[in-house]
Amino acid sequence: MPTITFIGAGSMVFATNLVGDILSYEALSDSRIRLMDIDEHRLEQTRQIAEAMVDNEGLDATVEATTDRREALEDADYVLNMINVGGTEPFENEIRIPEKYGVEQAIGDTTGPGGVFRGLRTIPTMLDIAADMEELCPDALLLNYTNPMAIVCKAVYEATDVEVVGLCHSVPHTAEAIAEYVDVPQEELDYWVAGINHMAWFLTAEHDGESVYPALEAAYEDEETYRKDTVRFEMMRHFGYFPTESSHHMSEYVPYFRTDGDVIEEMAGTDYAERMATATYLEGWQERSDERDSPELDVDLDEVEVERSEEYAARLIHSLETDTPRRFNLNVPNHDNAIENLPNDACVEVPVFADGAGVHPCSVGELPAEVAALDRQHTTVYELAVEGALEGDREKIHQALKLDPLTAASCTLEEIHEMTEELIEANEAYIPDLDGGGRARPPAAADD
């Protein structure tokens, strides 16, 4: 009977999906589910749905809810993290301030100015969670869903002894898209993917032992298909490999697509045009936040059922608990040189086998030089961001943004300096003290 703790369980839809995933396995159906959030209203909504799943299915699982993080972590076997630190105000600052300087982010939560500053406001709370885990459940595995994935995971394994893996659904979602474009069943697509989070690459993709890349290149020539995924098709055309993040998100990882109006117009396509000129993700995020704050739980609890989603967490826990071998793409430290031509201390997204003995990153060897170069630039940005947060080093935060590809394509060095200072000032209540010295700790006003 594993004890599985959810930190940030007020993310009701996501948390209850993951609870349903866990309960869908007979071997996990007696788990002890602990839900923790600082927002009592959202936490109560998640608890009601989770308990309805257990009751309606007649399962032996127990559901507990608390606003006390230490209580939730006591003797946990697995900790699922999905926190959002700071809420709407800093998120809007991270989008609107760079926008003033011409940096048009699509989502701004994992890379660029938005990603770096979201990392700054998230790392202190993550270190506090990890410190509690070191004391209360030192053998627990931390399964992180919070973005910026690479920055958050790297900070945890650099500054603590907690074992952490990062989970992201971009690889299976990309496999689904490729299968559609080449007209093969997704379950029959065999692939080998490696890189960094949101910028990993389908190094091979095969059906019945044959590469689907020729069919994918033919799909590029079909206008209707091309318009579904313009940026990723262009990246494949110019660099040879299909990347793992959707076109609108991928566009902010590189300097080619978001700085010129004519390019934006030329590249407009499904799921890309709506994100290109303005940060519409921000408005959508606020709408979803308002819905989550609704005082009424718009769910018929008698109809709640256990269903299994595509997320990795429950499958990973099931593999570890039952010694069932499975392969995932997870975000892990590159300490054993899973990717030989990325830094040893980078957070990489690689194939990982999991069984009763733990998680085992696979050796990928070297990435092709052309895509390794794209990834390496971001690993440097993330390294500086983490060091800046942990050391309180303001200059390293400046350097991280000056090395970001989209920011560098949009601004002069002096403009980036001014933008960074403005972001620091606007988000002072949410980020560590950046005057140097010591491990980053959250200011008293921080809201986790």
What confidence tens digit (pLDDT) does each residue in 368-382 have? 999 999 999 999 999
83 and 178 together in one domain: no
114 and 185 together in one domain: no
Domain presence at residue 159: yes
* Amino acid in position 12: M
Q: Torsion over CA of 264, 270, 275 and 280, rounded to 10 degrees?
A: 140
8 and 26 together in one domain: yes
HEC string for 228-253: CCHHHHHHHHHHCCEECCCHHHHCCC
Of 167, 193, 224, the last residue of a domain is 167
Domain presence at residue 301: no
84 and 172 together in one domain: no
Per-residue burial over 87-125, b if 16 or more Cβ lie within 10 Å, else e, is: eeebbbbbbebbbebebbbbbbbbbbbbbbbbbbbbbbb
Half-sphere CA count of 242, side-chain side, radius 13 A: 30
Domain presence at residue 97: yes
Domain presence at residue 107: yes
Tell me what pLDDT residue 415 has.
Answer: 98
Domain presence at residue 387: yes
Domain presence at residue 302: no
Beta-bridge partners for 34: 5, 64
Among all chains, which residue has been given the structure tokens 């003033």?
Answer: 100
Output the DSSP codes for 145-173.
-PSSHHHHHHHHHHH---EEEE--SHHHH
Among all chains, which residue has been given the structure tokens 């989970």?
Answer: 167
Beta-bridge partners for 273: none
Among all chains, which residue has been given the structure tokens 């603590």?
Answer: 160
Q: Which CATH number fits the domain that encloses residue 271?
A: 3.90.1820.10
**8-state DSSP, 14:** H
176 and 145 together in one domain: no
CA 117 distance to own-chain centroid: 15
Of 100, 135, 167, the last residue of a domain is 167
Instruction: Tell the burial category of 50 from Cβ atoms under 10 Å away from its Cβ (0-12, 13-18, 19+).
Output: buried
Measured between alpha carbons, how far is 364 from 183 in angstroms, rounded to an integer?
28
199 and 215 together in one domain: yes
**8-state DSSP, 404:** -
pLDDT (tens place) for every residue of the chain, 448 residues total = 899 999 999 888 889 999 999 999 999 999 999 999 999 999 999 999 999 999 999 999 999 999 999 999 999 999 999 999 988 889 899 999 999 999 989 889 999 999 999 999 999 999 999 999 999 999 999 999 999 999 999 999 999 999 999 999 999 999 999 999 999 999 999 999 999 999 999 999 999 999 999 999 999 999 999 999 999 999 999 999 999 999 989 999 999 999 987 887 777 654 444 444 444 555 555 555 555 555 566 777 878 888 888 889 999 999 999 999 999 999 999 999 999 999 999 999 999 999 999 999 999 999 999 999 999 999 999 999 999 999 999 999 999 999 999 999 999 999 999 999 999 999 999 999 998 643 444 443 334 4
157 and 188 together in one domain: no
Of 167, 187, 210, the last residue of a domain is 167
Among positive and negative, which fits the CA dihedral 22, 144, 43, 73? Answer: positive
262 and 393 together in one domain: yes
Tell me what pLDDT residue 286 has.
Answer: 55
Measured between alpha carbons, how far is 362 from 337 in angstroms, rounded to an integer?
9
Q: How many domains does the chain have?
A: 2
258 and 130 together in one domain: no
CB 36 within 8 A of CB 69: yes
What is the phi/psi pair of residue 259, to 5°? -115, -5
Q: Map residue 9 onto helix, strand or coil.
A: coil
CB 344 within 8 A of CB 337: yes
Query: What are the pLDDT digits (tens) for 211-242?
Result: 999 999 999 999 999 999 999 999 999 999 99
275 and 151 together in one domain: no
Domain presence at residue 446: no
- Look up 169 and say whether it is catalytic: yes
179 and 204 together in one domain: yes
Q: Map residue 3 onto helix, strand or coil.
A: strand
Domain presence at residue 130: yes
- For the chain, the average pLDDT equals 91
Q: Which domain holds residue 133?
A: 3-167
Per the residue annotation, which of 41, 169, 173, 198 is the catalytic one? 169
235 and 319 together in one domain: yes
